[in-house]
Structure 1
Amino acid sequence: MRIDGGALGRTFDGVGAISGGGGNSRLLRDYPQAQRDQILDYLFKPGYGAAVQLLKLEIGGDGNSTDGAEPSHQHTRGDVNCDAGYEFWLAEQAVARNPSIRLAALAWTAPGWIGGGNFWSDDMIAYDISWLDCARAHGLSIGYLGGWNERGHDSGWYKRLRTALDAAGYGAVQLVGDDTSWDMADEFAGDPALRNAIGVLGNHYVCGYLSQAEQCSSTQAARNSGKPLWASEFGSQDYDSGVVPYIRTLNRGYLDGGLTGFMNWPLIAAITPNLPFGTVGLMGAASPWSGAYRVGRNLWANAHYAQFAQPGWRYVTGAAGGYLDGNRANGSYVTLAAPNGRDYSTIYETSGATAAQTVSVTVAGGLNAGTVHVWDTDLGSATEHFVKRADVTPSGGSYTLTLQPNHIYSVTTTTGQGKGTAASPTASALALPYADDFESYAPRTLPRYTEDMQGAFEVRPCGSGRCLQQVVPQRPINWQGDSDAYTLIGDPSWRNYTVAVDVNLQQPGTVTLLGRAGTQLRPQDRQGAYQLRINETGAWSVVAHGTSGNVRTLASGSRSALGINTWHRVSLGFSGSRVTATVDGVQLAAFNDSAFGYGQAGIGVVGYQTDLFDNVSVTANGVGDGIVGGLLRGDESGRCADVPGASTANDTVVTLWDCHDGANQTWALTPAGELRVYGTKCLDARGGGTTDGTPVISYDCTGGTNQKWTVTAEGRVVGVASGKCLDATAHGTANSTPLELWTCTGAANQRWHRS
Structure 2
Amino acid sequence: MAEHLLQASRQRQVKAMTAAAGSAGQAAVPLLLCALLAPGSAYVLDDSDGLGREFDGIGAVSGGGATSRLLVNYPEPYRSQILDYLFKPNFGASLHILKVEIGGDGQTTDGTEPSHMHYALDENYFRGYEWWLMKEAKKRNPNITLMGLPWSFPGWLGKGFNWPYVNLQLTAYYVVSWIVGAKHYHDLDIDYIGIWNERAFDINYIKVLRRMLNYQGLQQVKIIASDNLWEPISASMLLDSELLRVIDVIGAHYPGTRTVKDARLTEKKLWSSEDFSTLNSDVGAGCWGRILNQNYINGYMTATIAWNLVASYYEQLPYGRCGLMTAQEPWSGHYVVEAPIWISAHTTQFTQPGWYYLKTVGHLEKGGSYVALTDGLGNLTIIVETMSHKHSMCIRPLLPYFNVSRQFATFILKGSFSEIPELQVWYTKLGKPSERFLFKQLDSLWLLDSGGSFTLELQEDELFTLTTLTAGSKGSYLLPPKSQPFPCVYKDDFNVGPI
- Counterpart-to-counterpart distance in 1, 2:92 and 2:453: 30
Aligned equivalent of 1:645: none
Aligned equivalent of 2:362: 322
> Does the CA-based 8 Å contact 1:5-1:337 persist in structure 2?
no
Return the structure number with greater helix share.
2
- Counterpart-to-counterpart distance in 1, 2:108 and 2:480: 29
**Counterpart selection for 2:369 from 319, 322, 332:** 332
**Counterpart selection for 1:252 from 265, 269, 294:** 294
- Counterpart-to-counterpart distance in 2, 1:387 and 1:200: 35
Give secondary structure in 1 for the equivalent of 2:90: coil
Aligned equivalent of 2:224: 176
Give secondary structure in 1 for the equivalent of 2:445: coil
Aligned equivalent of 1:697: none
Are residues 1:199 and 2:199 paired?
no
- Residues 558-577 of structure 1 aligned to structure 2 (within 5 Å): none
- Counterpart-to-counterpart distance in 2, 1:435 and 1:103: 35
- Following superposition, the deviation at residue 351 of structure 1 comes to 1.1
Are residues 1:110 and 2:161 paired?
no
- Residues 114-133 of structure 1 aligned to structure 2 (within 5 Å): 114-116=157-159, 118-120=163-165, 121-133=168-180
Q: Please provide the CA RMSD for this pair.
A: 1.5
Return the structure number with greater strand share.
1
Aligned equivalent of 1:356: 406
- Following superposition, the deviation at residue 425 of structure 1 comes to 1.6
> Does the CA-based 8 Å contact 1:115-1:124 persist in structure 2?
no
Give secondary structure in 2 for the equivalent of 1:67: coil
Give secondary structure in 2 for the equivalent of 1:148: coil
Aligned equivalent of 1:431: 487
AA of the residue aligned to 1:412 = T
- Residues 553-592 of structure 1 aligned to structure 2 (within 5 Å): none
Give secondary structure in 2 for the equivalent of 1:188: helix
- Residues 364-443 of structure 1 aligned to structure 2 (within 5 Å): 364-367=414-417, 369-382=420-433, 384-394=437-447, 395-422=450-477, 423-438=479-494, 440-441=495-496
Are residues 1:59 and 2:106 paired?
no
AA of the residue aligned to 1:119 = P
**Counterpart selection for 2:139 from 96, 103, 112:** 96
- Counterpart-to-counterpart distance in 2, 1:354 and 1:62: 46
- Following superposition, the deviation at residue 122 of structure 1 comes to 2.2
> Does the CA-based 8 Å contact 1:269-1:277 persist in structure 2?
no
- Counterpart-to-counterpart distance in 2, 1:289 and 1:434: 9
Give secondary structure in 2 for the equivalent of 1:29: helix
AA of the residue aligned to 1:72 = S
> Does the CA-based 8 Å contact 1:312-1:339 persist in structure 2?
no
> Does the CA-based 8 Å contact 1:202-1:231 persist in structure 2?
yes
- Following superposition, the deviation at residue 233 of structure 1 comes to 0.4
CA deviation profile, 1:474-507 (whole Å, cap 9, x unmatched): xxxxxxxxxxxxxxxxxxxxxxxxxxxxxxxxxx
Number of positions where the alignment pairs a residue of Structure 1 with one of Structure 2? 429
Aligned equivalent of 1:47: 90
- Following superposition, the deviation at residue 437 of structure 1 comes to 4.5
CA deviation profile, 1:565-607 (whole Å, cap 9, x unmatched): xxxxxxxxxxxxxxxxxxxxxxxxxxxxxxxxxxxxxxxxxxx
Aligned equivalent of 2:188: 140
- Counterpart-to-counterpart distance in 1, 2:286 and 2:463: 9
Are residues 1:35 and 2:78 paired?
yes
AA of the residue aligned to 1:132 = I
Give secondary structure in 1 for the equivalent of 2:320: coil
> Does the CA-based 8 Å contact 1:115-1:123 persist in structure 2?
no
Q: TM-score, normalised by structure 2?
A: 0.83
- Counterpart-to-counterpart distance in 2, 1:437 and 1:175: 40
Aligned equivalent of 1:217: 258
- Following superposition, the deviation at residue 354 of structure 1 comes to 5.2
- Following superposition, the deviation at residue 272 of structure 1 comes to 1.4
Please identify runs of 4+ aligned residues in structure 1 that moved more than 4 A.
none
Aligned equivalent of 2:4: none
- Counterpart-to-counterpart distance in 2, 1:273 and 1:375: 32
Give secondary structure in 2 for the equivalent of 1:171: coil
- Counterpart-to-counterpart distance in 1, 2:207 and 2:156: 22
AA of the residue aligned to 1:140 = L
Q: TM-score, normalised by structure 1?
A: 0.56
> Does the CA-based 8 Å contact 2:238-2:262 persist in structure 1?
no
Percent of residue pairs bearing the same amino acid type: 40
Pair 1:218–1:437, CA change in 2 (3 A): closer
Gaps of 5+ in 1: 208-215, 447-755
AA of the residue aligned to 2:441 = K
> Does the CA-based 8 Å contact 1:16-1:53 persist in structure 2?
yes
> Does the CA-based 8 Å contact 1:336-1:345 persist in structure 2?
yes
- Following superposition, the deviation at residue 417 of structure 1 comes to 0.4
- Counterpart-to-counterpart distance in 2, 1:74 and 1:417: 42
- Following superposition, the deviation at residue 429 of structure 1 comes to 2.1
- Following superposition, the deviation at residue 397 of structure 1 comes to 1.5
- Following superposition, the deviation at residue 381 of structure 1 comes to 4.6
Give secondary structure in 2 for the equivalent of 1:372: strand
- Counterpart-to-counterpart distance in 2, 1:377 and 1:362: 22
- Following superposition, the deviation at residue 139 of structure 1 comes to 1.2
Are residues 1:185 and 2:234 paired?
yes
AA of the residue aligned to 1:59 = I
Are residues 1:234 and 2:243 paired?
no
AA of the residue aligned to 1:60 = G
Pair 1:72–1:393, CA change in 2 (3 A): same
